[in-house]
Structure 1
C-alpha cells in the first residue's frame, strides 16, 4: 500500500514528536534534579531577600523607638537610663541612628566639660562615609569647636576651609572660627575680610552676624562697611 503525501507528513510529525519526547525524557533524567535544585535555591534566595527587607524595616522602627525613649529619658534628666540605650545605638548599622546617638553622647560629654571625649564622638561622625554629608559637616564644625583651644590655628583654617565659604550652610560657624584662627596667625587682613563677609550675609544666623560685627569692631574693622565695599567692586 502506497503512502500518500498526507499520510507521509502525518507519519513524520509522529516521528518528530516521539523524538522530542525521547529527548525531553533524556534531558530530564540528566538535568531534572539540578533544575529542581536551582529553582528551590532561587526561591530560597528571593524569600531570604524579602525576609531581610522586612527585618530591616522592623529593626529601623525598633531602633527609632529606642532613640525616642532615650531622648524622653534625657528630657526627664534620667541620664543613667538613656546612656545604655545610646551606647547600643552608637554602633547601629543604620547611619542616621548611629549619627544621632553619637552626637547625643557628645553633647552629654560637653555638659561634663569633657571636650576631648566629645570631640572624639564628633570625629567618628565626620569620618564615617556612610553618613550623609550635611551631618558629617556639622559634626566637623562641632568637633573643631570642642577642641578649638587645643588646635594650632593653621589646622583650624585647613580643616574648615571648604565650609568657610559663602553659600555653605555652616559658613557662619566655620567662618567665625577661621577668622579667629587667622587673627592668631597675625592675618588681620584675612580675618577682617572673613568677618565682613559673615556680618553681611543674610543667610547667616543673626546671633553670629552680630558677634562678628562686635569682633570686627574690637579690632578696628568696620565689617559691614568693608563687606559692602567688596560687593560693589
Structure 2
C-alpha cells in the first residue's frame, strides 16, 4: 500500500507541475506578442504599452517550488513593466536617424566644440559616406580582433551591417564601442535596445522553461 500511495503522490505532483507549466506557457504568450508587436503610429512613444499586466499574469503561475520564474521576472527592466518596450521595427527605424547624425559627428568629442571643427566633421562624413567597406572574414567569424583600431565610422558601418541582418544584439555590441559625440547621440537608442533585448530574453527563458517542464512530465508519464 505504501508503494501505491507513493506512486499516486508522485503522479499528483507531476500532474500539478504539468498544469503549472501549461499555465506558464499560456501566460507567456501575451508578453511575447506585446514585445513583437509593431504599430503604424507615427510617434514611437505612442507605441509604448506597459507590460505590468503581462508580467503579473506570469507571476501568478509561480510558487516556492519553482523560484526560477520569480528570478527571471525580476530581471525584466522596470521601464519595460511600467512604460513598455519599443518594437524591433521601431528601433531599426530609430537607428537610421541615429546613424545619420552620429556619422556626421563621428570625429567630434563629447561636449562643446568649435564651429570650424564641427564643419570639418560634417565635411569628412560626406566624403566617406559613399565609400564601400568590407568586414574582415575573421571578424565576421567572431574571432578576436583589436576593437580599439575601429573608428566611429567603422563601428557605425558594422552596426548597420548586423542590423540589416536582423541581429539587434550584435548591432548593440558594436554601438557600445562608439566614442565622443557619436556615442552621446546613440546613448538613448542603446538604452532602449538593451531594454527590449533583456525583456525578450526573459520571455524566451520563461517560455523554454514551460516547454521543458512539460516535456519532463510527458517523458515521466510515458
Q: TM-score, with normalisation over the residues of structure 1?
A: 0.27
Which protein, 1 or 2, shows the higher relative CO under an 8 Å CA cutoff with sep ≥ 6? 2
> In terms of Rg, which structure is larger?
1
Superposition TM-score, scaled by structure 2 size: 0.28
